[in-house]
Amino acid sequence: MDESHGLTVALIKLGGSVLTNKSRLRSFSETEARRLALEMKEFISRSRYHRLVLVHGGGSFGHIRAKKYNLSAGLREESQLHGFAQVRNDMRDLNSKIVSILIESGIPAISFPPETFLRVHGGRVIKSEAGLLEKCVGAGLVPVSFGDAVIDTRQSFSILSGDAVMLSMSSMVHPSISVFCTDVDGVFDSNPRLSANSRLIPRLRESDRVSTDATGTDDVTGGMGGKLKFLFEIAHNSGRTVVLNGLVPLRLRETLAGRDATSTEVVPTRRRPGKKASRRSGYI
Ligand code: IP8
């Protein structure tokens, strides 16, 4: 799904650190969600060929309890079951809050849990089904998927990250642009939370040296090392791939409009043969 179908698809991850206060259990940042919804609405209003595909992270609705109950490891003891049920319910609650705001902002958003189109085995996606996603994007609906507590055919359950969902979706819709909205300006050469000297990398290549020190994060889905791997894989499927600060107003809007905004552009060494991800001049 790309220019050959006449559609310009923007695949966007709304990070859990943008939509929630990560240190307070289940605290939703409604103001940020409403602002980002309007910035995205502008993109789909610009052309009837523009499409959005959205993914959100877990933030304090996912990571706090997933860590407490060690859910990424799969089922090991009965006491985890309650935690799994809670996280799964909390993620649906967060997804519902986000979808409601998108609808109120004029975006025809629909909840699209990862199990609608993905099968997970040993914490990894082993099977995907593109048909439903393509149908709903083709029709003009905006699927909103998320990192989730999922049924796992090897270990009963596991935690699937929003980045893994982004990767699967990017291979299905071949977006013109993939955007990661985070709580920092982009990818830095060292952890900006730990070092005042860390520098933003405006164009990130696979050969660039980036410190993968994950100190200061409570994410159960891995630190910077894993994130970079996903970023480059996604970049192979996308016309452009951008990491930006979703907490700063208008960065997302400007990026989607093809204008310069502080961010990191992820530059893959080579695009996958046979993929048709496109870069439409004028927009993205
Ligand atoms: O925030 C993790 O998704 P992420 C989802 O994208 C859960 O890593 C349930 C912790």
Q: 57 in ligand 1 pocket by Cβ < 6 Å?
A: yes
Find out whether the beta carbon of 166 lies less than 6 Å from any atom of ligand 1: no
Spacing, Cα 127 to ligand 1 middle (Å): 19
CA of 147 to the centre of ligand 1 (A): 4
So what's the pLDDT on residue 5? Answer: 64
Query: pLDDT higher for 2 or 261?
Result: 261
Q: What pLDDT was estimated at residue 44?
A: 98
Across 152-168, average pLDDT: 98
Ligand 1 site-directed mutation target among 26, 63, 65, 72, most atoms within 8 Å of CB: 63
What does the pLDDT look like over 235-254, one tens digit per residue? 999 999 999 999 999 999 99
Cα dihedral value 258, 238, 228, 221, nearest 10? 110
Please report the pLDDT score of residue 6 as a whole number. 87
Q: What is the sign of the dihedral through the CA atoms of 234, 235, 240 and 242?
A: positive
- Running DSSP on this structure, what letter comes out for residue 114? G
| Cα 152 to middle of ligand 1, angstroms | 15
Atom from ligand 1 closest to the CA of residue 59: 1
Name the residue of 148, 217, 227, 229 whose CB sits within 8 Å of the most ligand 1 atoms, as the mutation to test its pocket.
148
Q: Is any atom of ligand 1 closer than 6 Å to the C-beta of 83?
A: no
Q: What number does the ligand 1 atom closest to the CA of 63 have?
A: 10
3-class secondary-structure state, position 240: strand
Answer yes or no: is the C-beta of 113 below 6 A from any ligand 1 atom: no
Q: Are 184 and 34 in contact (CB under 8 A)?
A: no
Q: Which helix (H) or strand (E) holds 230?
A: helix 224-237
Mean pLDDT over all residues of the chain?
A: 92
For strand 50-56 and strand 8-14, is the pairing parallel, antiparallel, or unpaired?
parallel
Does the structure show a pLDDT above 80 at 271?
Answer: no
Given a cut of 90, whether residue 45 has pLDDT beyond it is yes
Cα separation, 68 vs 62, whole angstroms: 10
Q: What is the mean pLDDT of residues 115-138?
A: 97
Pick the atom of ligand 1 nearest to 91's CA: 9
Mutual orientation of helices 30-46 and 79-104 as an angle, nearest 10°? 50
Encode pLDDT of 52-92 as tens digits: 999 999 999 999 999 999 999 999 999 999 999 999 999 99
Q: How far apart are CA 195 and CA 19, in angstroms?
A: 25
| Any atom of ligand 1 within 6 Å of the Cβ of 185 | no
Local confidence band at 284 (pLDDT 50, 70, 90 cut-offs):
very low
pLDDT at residue 136, rounded to an integer: 96
Taking the centre of ligand 1 as the mean of its atom positions, its distance from the CA of residue 220, in whole angstroms, is 7
Atom of ligand 1 minimally distant from the CA of 87: 9
CB 188: neighbour CB atoms within 10 A? Answer: 20
> Which residue minimizes the CA distance to atom 7 of ligand 1?
62
Give yes or no for residue 219 CB within 6 A of ligand 1: yes
Answer for the pair 118, 169: CB distance below 8 angstroms, yes or no: no
Residue 214, pLDDT > 70, answer no
Predicted TM-score of the model (pTM): 0.93
pLDDT band (50, 70, 90) for residue 215: low
- Give the pLDDT confidence score for residue 279 in this predicted structure: 44
